[in-house]
Amino acid sequence: MGEVVIRMLAVVAALCLLPAAPAWAAPDDEQPRRVFTFKDPQITESSGLAVSPTRDDVYYTHNDSAATPTFYAVDGEGRTLATFQVRGAEARDWEAMAATRDPASGRGVLWFADIGDNLDGAWPDISVYKVMEPRTLGDATLPATRYRFRYADGARNAEGVMVNPRTGRLYVVSKEFAGSVYAAPKRLRADRVNVLRKVANAPLMATDAAYAPDGSSYVVRTYFSATLFRPSGEQITRVTMPELDQAESITYTRDGAALLTGSEGARSPVYRVPIPAAARPSPTP
């Protein structure tokens, strides 16, 4: 099904939803603003976005399906600092990424989610790759740990992955008209398939998700807006998003005061969208 048709159906479905928490729009002096535009001609389908957990003004992204297992580090001007290959990984349909910090070593950890399934059951299992953040920003090939997953209630398409920084637990958010948040086991196993179990509902046609830096909330992005939730799944508020050609990615800024959101397409922009003060995480030390 084409993206245009999907968007039309999503609008119709959204109008049929029960009333939810009111959307929040920023004051005029806190409107969304463009932070940068990806300048690398190789970044044509930016589908995942993450802020470096250890470096200031460094951002990571990767392309969507039909690509190699590659990700990019860019600066605050959208210029590519380094291009990385993930050794031994597949890229059937990379749809999302997350970034955390290893509590033992303090190093950054990057998670790449090969979870897209446009046929809703084409793959017997899906994969998420764990890569230690590179120590230097230069082109390199990096090793990864592969974790395989299957859903307890049957295969489905998904485009969101997030990791709770408090617990280290990984979650996948499905992209459906009745979307869901699925929790991975507390301890991931690389030697066998891990089972994902539904723990909460998600907005329809979710295209990405991310946890706040302090783990106090998470956000789910759709084509049209973003919704903030408490870890329990309770909805906090919706945040109006800028118009993008194909909204695909979202993450929190390092201080948790705003969201960064991006789109697919060549020279695609990344916007900073403030969130309401009452819903902001505690400042990160």
CATH of the domain at 129: 2.120.10.30
- Whether pLDDT at 151 is above 60: yes
Q: What is the mean pLDDT of residues 65-88?
A: 93
**pLDDT at res. 29:** 53
Does 107 map to a domain? yes
Does 210 map to a domain? yes
- Whether pLDDT at 284 is above 60: no
**pLDDT at res. 100:** 97
Q: Which tens digits make up the pLDDT trace of 133-147?
A: 999 999 999 999 999
Q: How many domains does the chain have?
A: 1
Q: Which tens digits make up the pLDDT trace of 188-239?
A: 999 999 999 999 999 999 999 999 999 999 999 999 899 999 999 999 999 9
Which residue would you say has higher pLDDT here, 1 or 71? 71
Does 187 map to a domain? yes
Does 62 map to a domain? yes
Q: What is the mean pLDDT of residues 55-84?
A: 94
Which pTM was predicted? 0.89
Which residue would you say has higher pLDDT here, 245 or 58? 58
- Whether pLDDT at 113 is above 90: yes
- Whether pLDDT at 178 is above 50: yes
What residue numbers bound the domain in which 143 lies?
34-274
- Reported residue count of the chain is 285
**pLDDT at res. 25:** 52
Question: Mean pLDDT score of the chain, rounded to an integer?
Answer: 89
Does 207 map to a domain? yes
Rounded Cα gap, residues 276 and 78, in angstroms: 26
With contact defined as beta carbons under 8 Å apart, do 113 and 94 qualify? yes
Does 28 map to a domain? no
Using alpha carbons, select from 231, 207, 233 the residue that is nearest to residue 221.
207
Does 124 map to a domain? yes
- Whether pLDDT at 2 is above 80: no
**pLDDT at res. 98:** 98
- Whether pLDDT at 67 is above 90: no
- Whether pLDDT at 183 is above 70: yes
Does 178 map to a domain? yes
